[in-house]
Amino acid sequence: MNRYLGEEPVGSLMKKYAIPCIISLLVGALYNIVDQIFIANAPYLGSYGNAANTVVFPLTVIALAVAVMIGDGCCAFVSISLGQNKTQDARRSVGNAIVMTVVSSLVLTAIYLVFAEPILTMFGGTVNAETFRHSREYFFWISAGIPFYMFGQALNPIIRADGNPKFAMISTLAGALVNIVLDPVFIFAVNWGMKGAAVATILGQIVTAVLAVWYILHMKHIKPRSGDFSLDPVISRQSLLLGMTSFLSQISLVAAMAAINNMIRKYGALDPVFGQEQYAQIPMAVVGIVMKFFQIVISIVVGMAAGCIPIVGFNMGAGLRSRVKELFTKLLISEATVGLIAFLIVEFMPRQLISIFGAANESVYYTDFAVKAFRIYLCMIVFACINKACFIFLQAMGKAASSTFLSMIREVVFGVGFALLLPVWFGLDGVLYSMPVSDFLTFLIAAIMIRQTYKELQIR
């Protein structure tokens, strides 16, 4: 069962698993990005709608953080269990993951709906009245779709662990296509505004969730039985620990975004231009756009690494360390290449990037700040790509503590810390400097861990 993971050439396996995973994550990222593109190009929404999208985005990441903790953890646990011929444990992990996803999604939805206004305020929604109005409308509808979103996201890596990365890709792609088709209909034809963008997203998420349910009923290797849905404390804990890095990398990103949004609101108000009411939303809208481009790049990076989780887990469980070492080398080279391409794009084509997000309808301040934001905020994106690969690979090897430590250092200590400190000396530009400084310092630590990992993977 899945023994080809320990026999086929590593390069072929990486392509087979990574490419569908990359496409799945890219398509998943398109949900929010497509919303923002159509919102930005709707004259009655513009930068206000863009800023509202930026405010709500971290709140969808919280839902994603919980979903990937359950899904990626289950994926890693299943892969290791199959490598050790523990099929029953693998099935039970899948059943437990499904139950935990459903319960946690309903709880999070209830919290969002009950505490909507203080939550939006916490994430910078009060930059001005118009932004807050759009944020509140968008957030209400997005919250209603959280259970479908989380179910689809959590089951995606589990489907990959069952040996069907193509179906995982197709289910996500189908949902995204529904969103892309309906966005312009609801925003431009029906004039539903932020509600239209959110409803299009929800309908796409429902399609992905329905396809995931169908697959659960037709799993090839690890189809759970009725008794597997009873929560097993030991298996659930082990799975969640393996998924903790995925959770922390996402949830700590939320903390960083909350810090960044509030620093933008605070120091933007002190800026001679953005302190004016009619321009107050521009920095938040622009930084949100820059982060969306970064999300596209990171989707490729994480897709490469996450696609390797079943391969790494199986080969570690089977004691085939030389194959794991070879895979690690290929992954690091691939991630650095993606980062270099992204670096060249943001440094030489920032005006083309910002034009996609409605720059023609905005003031010159919008474009000028966007060009500066792209070039500064993402100047260390090569290191960011390598760091992400290191987080996930360590997780796949079962080194949850090392992976979690590195992720926490990057996102909480550096990400939040520098976002709060640098604006004190550099004002609004300090928010932009926080990203490259954090990525560079994290890489110095990651380089040490990469070296240690190679030593551990030496053939004994």
Asked if the model's pLDDT at residue 1 lies above 50, the reply is no
- The answer to the question of residue 5 being in a domain is no
Q: Which band of pLDDT confidence, cut at 50, 70 and 90, is reported for residue 359?
A: low
Report if residue 3 sits inside a domain: no
Specify the amino acid at residue 99.
V
Q: How far apart are the first and last CA of the chain?
A: 26
User: Would 1 be classed as within a structural domain?
Assistant: no
The domain tally of the chain equals 1
Mean pLDDT within 260-284: 85
Task: Tell me the two tokens of residue 62.
Answer: 């919280």
Classify the C-alpha dihedral 278-280-283-285 as positive or negative: negative
pLDDT of 83 over the 50 cut:
yes
Task: Output helix, strand, coil percentages for the chain, rounded to the nearest 5.
Answer: 85, 0, 15
Confidence of residue 291 (pLDDT cuts 50, 70, 90): confident
How would residue 456 be classed by pLDDT, with cut points 50, 70 and 90? confident
3-state helix/strand/coil string of 118-163: HHHHHCCHHHCHHHHHHHHHHHHHHHHCHHHHHHHHHHHHHHHHCC
d(C-alpha 305, C-alpha 312), whole Å: 10
- Owning domain of residue 116: 10-456
pLDDT in tens, 119-149: 998 888 777 788 889 899 999 999 999 999 9
pLDDT of 348: 93
**Is-contact 160 154, C-beta < 8 A?**
no
Q: Which parts of 308-357 fold into alpha helices (H)?
A: 309-317, 321-348, 350-355
Distance CA 10, CA 267 (A): 49
Cα of 66 vs its chain's centroid, Å = 11
The fraction of the chain above a pLDDT of 90, given in percent, is 31
Query: Contact 163/221 with Cβ under 8 angstroms?
Result: yes
Residue 312 falls within a domain, yes or no?
A: yes
Residue 460: pLDDT above 60? no
- Domain membership flag for residue 4: no
Q: Is residue 164 part of a domain?
A: yes
The answer to the question of residue 2 being in a domain is no
The verdict on residue 398 lying in a domain is yes
